[in-house]
Amino acid sequence: MSDGEMEPARLGQVRLPDGRRLGWAEWGPEEGTPVLLCSGAATSRWLGFGGDVVDRLGIRLVTVDRPGLGASDPAPGRTLDNWVQDVRHLAEARALRGMALVGCSQGAPFALACAAAGSVTGVAVVSGTDELASPGFRGLLVPDVRKLVDSVAADPAGAEAFFRGFGSADAMWDMILAMSGDVDRKVYTVPAFAQAYRRALTEAFAQGSAGYARDTVLAMGAWPFDPASITVPVDLWYGAQDTSPVHSPDFGASLARRIPTSHRHVLPEAGGSLLWTHAEDVLRSLLKRTSVRKP
């Protein structure tokens, strides 16, 4: 397993045109190839991945708190399109030219929205949440998830209020472990990694649960972009041992059909934690498939 618990090399905030602040963290060389992580549900900039390989691969790994989480100011009512604009401003402010993205778990729709907008050179989706609101998935979702997706479609404001009432660092940690199979629990319960993950959750909820709630409504709702419009390379990474009901019901098969530039990897031995167990594979493939590879 890679050193996901390594401390960031650099921390800071950028000021956006509307006055909001966006919190970020970085690992690896400042002159390296920029790769931005759109992290999973309710995690913050403190949780990176591949800390033991980014220097060797020449990668400048950037994590960012979405609005209302961690060190980023809230933006009530924000959309995935708003996120695309935030990422563009971050890239300009931090000189992240030729940036690629990694979208993990709930971060996948946020990363793919940037790809559909032509803002990045490529994307790796890792254990990513698919478009659960797509009609083709209705019969594949477990009943509890189907109810949540239906509630977001019928009453977005009510669903957001429900998620606000549920969200907390402890509740998220308990849910992660409950949804994980043996393969993933072995990763998440390594003491140093568990400490890093729980720290990221605690930081994410520092302003309360509104940021997490808005993220969840956006991730469970219909996507405002057509995956078929994506023209940059997209790697889809799934572990066959992933037992999470909120990732992809078919391990990315539908996404692979919808995104013409995609390449799907299903690792038989891996679980939903493969961002940390297979960090080097994910990053090497991303560098190879994008146009920003260093000589």
Q: Which domain holds residue 213?
A: 10-289
In a domain, 251, yes or no: yes
In a domain, 1, yes or no: no
In a domain, 294, yes or no: no
In a domain, 51, yes or no: yes
What CATH number did the domain enclosing 184 receive? 3.40.50.1820
The whole model's pTM is what? 0.96
In a domain, 145, yes or no: yes
Residue 165: helix, strand or coil by DSSP?
helix
In a domain, 61, yes or no: yes
Whole-number pLDDT of residue 5 = 57
In this structure, what are the phi and psi dihedrals at residue 237, rounded to the nearest 5 degrees?
-115, 125
In a domain, 2, yes or no: no
Whole-number pLDDT of residue 98 = 94
Whole-number pLDDT of residue 251 = 97
Distance, in Å, from the CA atom of 104 to the CA atom of 213, rounded to the nearest integer, reads 17
Distance, in Å, from the CA atom of 174 to the CA atom of 263, rounded to the nearest integer, reads 33
Whole-number pLDDT of residue 142 = 96
In a domain, 33, yes or no: yes
How many domains does the chain contain in total?
1
Q: What is the pLDDT along the chain (295 residues), one digit of tens a residue?
A: 545 558 899 999 999 999 999 999 999 999 999 999 999 999 999 999 999 899 999 999 999 999 999 999 999 999 999 999 999 999 999 999 999 999 999 999 999 999 999 999 999 999 999 999 999 999 999 999 999 999 999 999 999 999 999 889 999 999 999 999 999 999 999 999 999 999 999 999 999 999 999 999 999 999 999 999 999 999 999 999 999 999 999 999 999 999 999 999 999 999 999 999 999 999 999 999 886 444 3
Nearest one of 68, 60, 72 to 21, comparing CA atoms = 72
Structure token pair of residue 239: 């572990």
